[in-house]
Structure 1
Amino acid sequence: MAAPTRREPLAFLPIAADGAPQTMSSVEIAHLTGKRHDHVMRDIKVMLDELQTPAPNFGGSYLGANRKQLPCFNLPRRECLILVSGYSVELRAKIIDRWEELEQASRRPPMDLNNPAHLRLLLANYVNDKMEMQAQIADLTPKAYALDRIATAEGSLCITDTAKTLQLQPKVLFAFLRSHRWIYGRVGNAGDVAYQDKLASGLLEHKTNMVHRSDGSEKVVTQCRVTPKGLARLAKELEPSVRAA
């Protein structure tokens, strides 16, 4: 079945209250530019830092997967255009065109729900939104299936190889695992150790190897490794908490 014609969802048409500045969310910026939301969040944080503007001033949230509240930014026109000034001409044009739509929408009179023409328009928008949502679900289904396949695979990865698989710097993954109580350093142990609940749930495992020293002696080394189930969990939990950092 052919994909539905692309149309911006009504959810991306916020009308500012009287006296309140019009804003565009980082979710919509990612949607318009085709960039990953965590990358847009990262760019916004860098921009606000350079502008010496507190990030919480523009903080917001949106409903993500499983209706979970996730963080986002809501940018006024000035900050939004500063953000995309480093993007390509094509992407800047999309954002500028969108701002014109938002500003025109804010000047339109509210819909009269007693007007049949307005009701037909709302119904048409609802149908298009539902078709678009179904298309997005169809696009996400193979990804969910891939995660299920990963979770039931055999074998495990060291944390460095896990970071490469998740396309993260190893130090970022190590920091996440420590701050979220997956692993910890133990006195007298050169490597990291898994928390017992992560071992019990099958997210991590300890693998023992025998290392031969140059003097002919042997040493037992225990390595903390990420199981396929743990890899699948991390692929979900790292979006957007770490990737947006």
Structure 2
Amino acid sequence: MQTNTFPEQSQIVNPITTSNFMAFDTPLQTLTVDYDNHTINPIAMSSMEIADLVGSRHDNVKISIERLVDRGVIEAPALQDLRTLSGQASKEYIFAGEQGKRDSIVVVAQLSPEFTATLVDRWRELEAEKKHDSLAMPNNLSGALNLACMLAYKVEALEQQATENLDKLEFYEEMVNTTQLFSVSTVAKTQDTGPIRLFAYMRDHKILMSKRYKFNEPYQVHLDAGRFHVRWAHYKDELTGEIELKATPYFTGKGVTWIKQFIAKHGRDGL
């Protein structure tokens, strides 16, 4: 006769419902959960992100990467498919791990040396985020239950954030695809400042030129990135009476979203 090895229903103990009768100090195996560790999912940065950081066209960044690879200066990074906000299929390079960090710095030093420090700071941010997201599994049941509650709350918060991000993405796509131009005065109002201060802020941060004959003209890197459109007009110099040709910059939709991100990253000093 076969013996029933399963416990009777009355013998089954639910540790949660019997919490008043047992201490939550049952030892569990201590584990470290690292969602972005170097062996499973290393920290990475894409060529698209590099292009945004240095204010250059993505295709120009990819050309520089390919030239450095051909010369043996850097290792060939991984290539993955990319779909732009407009729906076009493209590809981007992925720099991962310590080798990727080193090679990406070489790329930026070749493209725009003045942005090398910005790239290094970005890598530090990614490393800090990785460290923050590393979770240590508690070694007792009480801690495990608390962690489960915390993760459930975090999931709910992420879902809410995803909804908000979707709204922002729709707005971003609408701005990127618009052909409307926006004056500096109009954009200044969205940043709670005036046009004179915004003009000065952009000159101080090397977005607009300060030289007399190129005064307030965007640097070529920002024109190439599609952030500005320039309209030219003749003005009379009140001191000399001479008629001069001057540039008036207008933000594109893409430029409006970019300057907002730029100010958030670099601070409002001067605005």
Q: TM-score, normalised by structure 2?
A: 0.42
Q: TM-score, normalised by structure 1?
A: 0.46
